[in-house]
Amino acid sequence: MSNIYESAEATLGFISSPCLTKVELRVACRGISDRDALSKPDPCVVLKMQSHGQWFEVDRTEVIRSSSSPVFSKIFLVDYYFEEVQRLRFELHDISSGNNGLRDADFLGAMECTLGQVRLPSDWMAGFLSFDLQAFYLFVCSFQIVSQRKLTKALLKQGNTAGKSSIMVTAEELSGNDDYVELSFSARKLDDKDFFSKSDPFLEIFRVNDDGTESLVHRTETVMNNLSPIWKSFKVSLNTLCSGDHDRELKCTVWDWDSNGKHDFIGEFQTTYKEMMRAAQEGKQIQWECINPKYQMKKKNYRNSGTVMLNHCKIIKMYSFLDYIMGGCQIQFTVAIDFTASNGDPRNSCSLHYIHPYQPNEYLKALVAVGEICQDYDSDKMFPAFGFGALIPPDFKVRNQKPTYVSVAGIQGVVEAYQNCLPKIQLYGPTNIAPIIQKVASSASEEMHTKEAMEYFILLILTDGVITDMADTREAIVHASHLPMSVIIVGVGNADFTDMQILDGDDGILRSPKGEPVLRDIVQFVPFKDFKHASPAALAKSVLAEVPNQVVDYYNAKGIKPKCISDYESSRTFSP
């Protein structure tokens, strides 16, 4: 039995290079064509990274309505590896109004480049000797973001034809300061720019750089029909806000939003992080006059176009995934395997469950690829293993509504349990996964009430088809989004998994049948067929890429700090 496990495990070997630094990427576009004479595009940029020959989505910007030259406030944060050729792809999409997903979006163009650095260290020759020559050639000759700091290229449409639109990517290396600041602003008596209603104000904050250029730090939401808006609080790193320089000038502008994208300028003011933090520490209310320079020059009695107040300024320590792991947080890994009849008779070599003496099937490949990584973060390495959709002996009834599991030791134990049960069960149906999500969620709920960062739950679901209890599954995921839990779904086989994308929050906001949105994105769906010609390491990297951020987002949002190592060691119970 173990030879299959070892065969699958052996394909997982890959070298992980140490990350030298983190890089912020800012994106802006120019010259995007209008949809027609009456409407402008609603652009969004998707960042993808190439790994093992496959493109994977890393993140995406917000959608900016009615804009042909958008400057996105979303900042991409990527790890930079000196010795790797890191290929990036920026895709521009026009998102139809009322839909944030890419399914119905129009593709407007793409730009590919590398995240590299031509400037070599003093011992570059020694490093060169260990380089693959082809990689080094690409390393030097490709478009370099980090080395150029600012890269502007034409967006290529289908067929690699260049259009009139272009994209500008600006890179900045982060310094060592990883503190975050939480800010909240409001305004009073802003100028009314609309004839039949009040202004719809939003606030933009720019950092003034050493060379005099400005970098967009944050853009608030628009508060409709209100001259005294209160904008939502937001968090931003000190690196992003002021490059760690507390005296760096911050330029703040207030606009009246217009649906045609031609926003009306209300006014501006300047401040610094030092000024805001000093006022907060002294408990003083600080406000700025919002000035329109044109009005100031033309109108004799002009005072201001309103005032903007700082409501809140607080330093927040944002903990990393490693902080929580070092503090004793355990990853509780659970696996659920689809035993519905659509997989085919396991005795037939065409079945997705067919056990070849030496070659693992797709279920085993996905299980080992993901489980091998997760088990290293689980101290007892005892994994609950579920099966669903099968007729179970001795009465051969489906037990989907009350799922049961076996607890096995390590990934090899899961593999052996999977192989042992196949001859004893009858594949049947339906493909219901909501009960399993609810079962794991009940354990995660118990952990949530401890208010400690000690256990985070990951549920891996391997299935060959679209689930049949979609409504119940959406409800279960929305509930689970409030818990320390993530769900990974791997689609096995060649079925059409288009409808499964709705569960992945990357493509719009998942809502329950009652309309309740997920609190946070906890689902990652990946079709295994996209990785048939890639190594299992590529699959593992794709499905687990979002987990560290999901762990951090949950605990930081709850205000739960990681235990320090000494506290964790003193609280552990050791078995003889």
pTM above 0.75, yes or no: no
Residue type, 375: Q
Residue pLDDT, tens place only, 326-364: 888 888 999 999 999 999 999 898 999 999 888 889 899
Whole-angstrom distance, CA of residue 107 vs CA of residue 152: 19
Residue pLDDT, tens place only, 225-244: 999 999 999 999 898 999 88
Whole-angstrom distance, CA of residue 286 vs CA of residue 310: 6
Residue pLDDT, tens place only, 266-312: 999 999 999 999 999 999 889 999 999 999 999 889 999 999 999 99
Q: Clarify whether residues 293 and 325 are in a common domain.
A: no
Residue 328 is predicted with a pLDDT of: 87
Q: Pick the last residue of a domain from 141, 174, 207.
A: 174
Domain-located, residue 275: yes
3-state per-residue secondary structure call for 327-349: CCCEEEEEEEEECEHHHCCCCCC
Range list of H helices, 449-521: 470-480
Least confident of 109-123, 402-416, 511-525: 109-123
Residue 545 sits at φ, ψ, to 5 deg, of: -60, -35
For residue 569, what pLDDT band results from cuts at 50, 70 and 90? very low
Domain-located, residue 465: yes
User: Mean pLDDT highest for which of 31-40, 75-84, 288-297, 373-382?
Assistant: 288-297
Q: Pick the last residue of a domain from 174, 209, 226.
A: 174
User: Cα 462 to chain center, whole Å?
Assistant: 22
Which pair of structure tokens corresponds to residue 300? 């004799």
For residue 130, what pLDDT band results from cuts at 50, 70 and 90? very low
Q: Clarify whether residues 266 and 281 are in a common domain.
A: yes
Q: Clarify whether residues 308 and 327 are in a common domain.
A: no
Which pair of structure tokens corresponds to residue 220? 């608030």
Residue 507 is predicted with a pLDDT of: 55
| CATH code of the domain containing 266 | 2.60.40.150
Cβ-contact 448, 483 below 8 angstroms: yes
Cβ-contact 304, 188 below 8 angstroms: no
Q: Clarify whether residues 410 and 549 are in a common domain.
A: yes
Domain-located, residue 565: no
Short-list 295, 267, 277, 319, CA closest to 555? 319
Residue 98 is predicted with a pLDDT of: 62
**Taking 80 as the threshold, does the pLDDT of residue 8 lie above it?**
no
Q: Clarify whether residues 494 and 525 are in a common domain.
A: yes
In three-state secondary structure terms, 127 is helix
Range list of H helices, 207-349: 238-242, 273-281, 293-298, 321-326
**Taking 70 as the threshold, does the pLDDT of residue 149 lie above it?**
yes
Residue 123 is predicted with a pLDDT of: 38
Residue pLDDT, tens place only, 487-526: 999 999 888 887 777 787 655 678 888 889 899 989 988 8
Residue 400 is predicted with a pLDDT of: 56
Domain-located, residue 160: yes
Q: How many CB atoms lie within 10 A of CB 268?
A: 20
Number of domains in the chain: 3
Q: Could you identify the residue written with the tokens 């853009």?
A: 219
Residue 391 is predicted with a pLDDT of: 86
Domain-located, residue 3: no
Which pair of structure tokens corresponds to residue 84? 């790797």
What's the burial of 419, exposed, middle or buried (CB within 10 Å: 0-12/13-18/19+)?
middle
Average pLDDT for residues 393-406, to the nearest whole number? 69
Short-list 433, 430, 418, 429, CA closest to 353? 418
**Taking 60 as the threshold, does the pLDDT of residue 572 lie above it?**
no
For residue 162, what pLDDT band results from cuts at 50, 70 and 90? confident
Average pLDDT for residues 134-157, to the nearest whole number? 59
Residue 323 sits at φ, ψ, to 5 deg, of: -60, -45
Cβ-contact 187, 159 below 8 angstroms: no
Least confident of 34-38, 99-103, 238-242, 410-414: 99-103
Q: Clarify whether residues 422 and 501 are in a common domain.
A: yes
| H or E element that contains 10 | helix 2-10
CA torsion through residues 202, 203, 209, 215, sign: negative
Residue pLDDT, tens place only, 166-222: 999 988 877 666 688 999 999 999 999 988 889 999 999 999 998 899 999 999 999
**Taking 60 as the threshold, does the pLDDT of residue 263 lie above it?**
yes
Residue 365 is predicted with a pLDDT of: 87
Cβ-contact 388, 395 below 8 angstroms: no
3-state per-residue secondary structure call for 388-421: ECEEECCCCECCCCCCCEEEEEHHHHHHHHHHHH
Domain-located, residue 426: yes
Residue type, 42: D
Residue 266 sits at φ, ψ, to 5 deg, of: -100, -50
Q: Clarify whether residues 165 and 195 are in a common domain.
A: no
Q: Clarify whether residues 149 and 197 are in a common domain.
A: no
The average confidence (pLDDT) of the chain is 82
Q: Clarify whether residues 104 and 210 are in a common domain.
A: no
| CATH code of the domain containing 497 | 3.40.50.410
Which pair of structure tokens corresponds to residue 347? 């005795």
Residue type, 137: Y
Whole-angstrom distance, CA of residue 134 vs CA of residue 85: 10
Average pLDDT for residues 120-148, to the nearest whole number? 40
**Taking 60 as the threshold, does the pLDDT of residue 143 lie above it?**
no
Average pLDDT for residues 124-153, to the nearest whole number? 48
Give percent of the chain with pLDDT exceeding 90: 43
Q: Pick the last residue of a domain from 126, 143, 174.
A: 174
Q: Which domain holds residue 280?
A: 180-316
